[in-house]
Amino acid sequence: MMTVGVEEEFLLLDTATGLPVPLAGKVRTAAGLRCRPEWGEGEVQTELLQAQLEVATPVCTALDEVAGHLNRMRRLVAEAAGDFGCRPGCCGTPPIHGQDPIPVTRTERYRAMTEQAQLLVAEQLICGMHIHVGVPDRERAVEVLNRVRVWLPTLVAMAANSPFWAGSDSGYASWRTVVFGRWAVSGPPPRFASLADHDRRIQDLVSGDLIMDTGQIYWQARLSERYPTIEVRCMDVQLRAEDAARFAGLVRALVDTALRETEAGLPVPECPPELLQAANWHAARYGLSGGLLSPYHGTLVRAEAAVGGLLSHVAQALAEAGDREQVTGLAEELLEQGTAADRQREAFAREGLLGVVGLVTAGMTAGPAAGPTAGTTD
């Protein structure tokens, strides 16, 4: 069974006003004090801005295990945040945003990033979900990148959960995708001729002083520097931990399928970078309410056809992992009931922006409890 790990980012929102508040350091410390030693020290981390926190699961093999850890850590962070009059929100962008900028977390690297891209850093109040899947080696990992890149717009659309920005509807299903896409090296990754080509092109960016370091490779899928994994990072954080776990199953099946195709010597799907970039923007704009890129045809097709094509593409991997029912259920729910972005807009229509805040904070305390499971933080 291929291993999988999930990282989730959350916004800390004031309980009364819904505004982002710079309390990440205090909440992280309080969460650490509540954490049992066997659950690991690195599960809750600060992020670029002081209104953001990140949690990371241990290495997992079963989707129920992923969901259990995420529910446990969500409750842990929510309890700690409550001590300081705030709640964590599961949203890709803040529904409400004040005029004053959120302070940057005090690290040397983050200070350097602020000097490099001041306004861009100030607007990084965005939260994603990163899924790591174990791969045998870096050579095959590059092959996986070449094969999964064409499916990233479909994942963006399915996971869209950031329609609001600074108190207004952005018009996009995933405004986070647009904000994060402003960095110098971002969006869908290019196709690489080999591992050597991949490493040379990244080194050229660093040695040419175009980016600070390899940590600023913000492609939506990339090779992890710390772990023997592929990291898929194109998705908004999800309202529910169970949905995050089901997305982890879908991404794992994509990676598994890519490895199978590599072993079988099947051709890599062709997709010009400009077409993939445009498809990514289109997915962020419309979510599942518009057309999505079909890797088979190189044109936009109905969302139902694109999602169905993705499920067919990974069907064997899903079946062998025992994840078919959960992942298929996720896809059916999204197509029938809408994405998390659609649910945010429905909450706004009923109760305004504070109703949206209530929706995005509710998922931090839902779900069954989970005990510790051995593994390393991914």
DSSP annotation string for 334-377: HHHH--HHHHHHHHHHHHHHHHHHHHHHHTTS-S---------B
Please indicate, yes or no, if residue 371 is contained in any of the structural domains.
no
**Does 368 score more than 80 pLDDT?**
no
Token pair in block for residue 34: 């509540």
Residue 296: per-residue pLDDT? 79
- Number of domains forming the structure of the chain: 1
**What is the four-CA torsion angle of 211, 180, 245, 165, rounded to 10 degrees?**
150
Exposed / middle / buried, residue 88 (Cβ in 10 Å: 0-12, 13-18, 19+):
buried
Place of tokens 């399928």: 257
Q: What is the pLDDT of residues 211-268, one digit of tens each?
A: 999 999 999 999 998 899 999 999 999 999 999 999 999 999 999 999 999 999 999 9
Residue 72: inside a domain: yes
Residue 368 domain-assigned (yes or no)? no
Q: How far apart are CA 163 and CA 181, in angstroms?
A: 16
Mean pLDDT of 151-159: 98
Q: Is the pLDDT of residue 42 over 90?
A: no
Tokens of 248: 């982890």
User: Token pair of 256, please?
Assistant: 């598994």
Is 48 part of a structural domain of the chain?
yes
- Of the chain, the percentage scoring pLDDT greater than 90 comes to 86
Q: How far is CA 250 from CA 43, 258, 306, in A?
A: 23, 12, 14
Q: Which domain holds residue 162?
A: 4-362
Angle CA 280–286–287, to nearest 5: 75
Q: Which of 28-42, 68-82, 192-206, 247-261 has the lowest mean pLDDT?
A: 28-42
Rounded CA separation 128/159 (Å): 10
Predicted confidence band at 288 (pLDDT cuts at 50, 70, 90)?
A: very high
Residue 193 pLDDT class (50, 70, 90 cuts): very high
Residue 370 lies in a domain: no
Residue 155: give its domain's CATH number: 3.30.590.20
Tell me what the pLDDT averaged over the chain comes to.
93
Would 367 be classed as within a structural domain? Answer: no
The answer to the question of residue 173 being in a domain is yes
CA nearest neighbour of 158 among 34, 30, 331, 316: 331
The Cα 228–Cα 230 span in angstroms is 7
pLDDT at 298: 82
Spatial separation of the C-alpha atoms in residues 42 and 54, rounded to whole Å: 10
Let me know if residue 61 belongs to a domain.
Answer: yes
Q: Enumerate long-range contacts of 137-140, CB under 8 Å, 24 or more apart.
A: 137/228, 138/195, 138/223, 139/194, 139/195, 140/259, 140/262
Using pLDDT thresholds of 50, 70 and 90, give the confidence band for residue 36.
Answer: low
Beta carbons of 132 and 229 less than 8 angstroms apart: yes
* 53 three-state secondary structure: strand
Q: Is the pLDDT of residue 40 over 80?
A: no
